[in-house]
Amino acid sequence: MADTLLMGAVAYDPKVVTIWEGFVRWFAARGLPFDYVLYSNYERQVEALLAGHVHAAWNSPLAWVEADRAARARGRVARAVCMRDTDRDLTSVVLVRADSSFEAVADLRGKRVAVGASDSPQATLIPLGHLRAAGLEPGRDVEVLRHDVLVGKHGDHVGGERDAAKALLEGRADAACVIDGNHLAFSRDGTLPPGSTRVLAQTGRYDHCNMTVLEGVEPALVARFVDLLLSMRYDDPEVRPLLDLEGLKQWLPGRTSGYALLEEAVDGLGLDLTIG
């Protein structure tokens, strides 16, 4: 239907259906026909956005970079119109065992570093970019132990990071890279027993997901969609469980200033982001 806002999302977990089905009802009650299409991977979703199959795409940070670069290559403009409060100013950490002798990143030369999936911004690309900036070339100065769980979902699935943490504890790696939030989560759930690890290094701050649209695509419809997202309130009992599942308390306007570290890592590591 021409007046229906159609959004793409990647099905990295069954809860994705619960979240967006709830949003369908919430938007409809406020006069916006809304529907969503689920994709198995972000590359397919970016292709769909570029082809006009969806008006908006709930993109990972890497998918944003892919969409932005692909749009510019076609003479178009991608916009990050909305993001979660929890998508801003994140960091990743390089962990080592608490009893190790490592004192600086340089001490990892010749050692093995465990990371998440090969396309995970938070557990692979940005941390490896951090190592490069410190003078350690991944694959040359350090051996990289990848945990390719659900490649195509850009690290949304926590399995790769959890496997990296386990590799560190089991002695199969000398260091492990995880996002700061999962470092805390792994400490709470027992993946990383108290006192077993310590932080050797922390990356600079970066942003995570955003709602991506292409300039000029049904502007009035997109504007209404974004306005409603920004109007959601955590104290609304109807929407609060959905926000909890999606990991936020408030939607915020999108920004692109927080993707510089990922851009640098993509270019420095020679990652091919060709779409279509």
Domains of the chain with bracketed CATH: 5-87+207-269 (3.40.190.10), 92-202 (3.40.190.10)
> How remote is the C-alpha of 70 from its chain's centroid?
18
Distance, in Å, from the CA atom of 75 to the CA atom of 209, rounded to the nearest integer, reads 23
Tens digit of each residue's pLDDT (9 = 90 or more) over 80-132: 999 999 999 999 999 999 999 999 999 999 999 999 999 999 999 999 999 99
Q: In the prediction, which pLDDT does 3 show?
A: 87
Burial pattern 212-222, b for ≥16 Cβ within 10 A else e, equals bbbeeebeebb
Distance, in Å, from the CA atom of 98 to the CA atom of 112, rounded to the nearest integer, reads 16
Rounded to the nearest 10°, the torsion over CA 192, 12, 113, 97 is 0
Average pLDDT, whole number, for the chain? 96
Distance, in Å, from the CA atom of 228 to the CA atom of 67, rounded to the nearest integer, reads 24
pLDDT at 62 over 60: yes
Distance, in Å, from the CA atom of 254 to the CA atom of 257, rounded to the nearest integer, reads 10
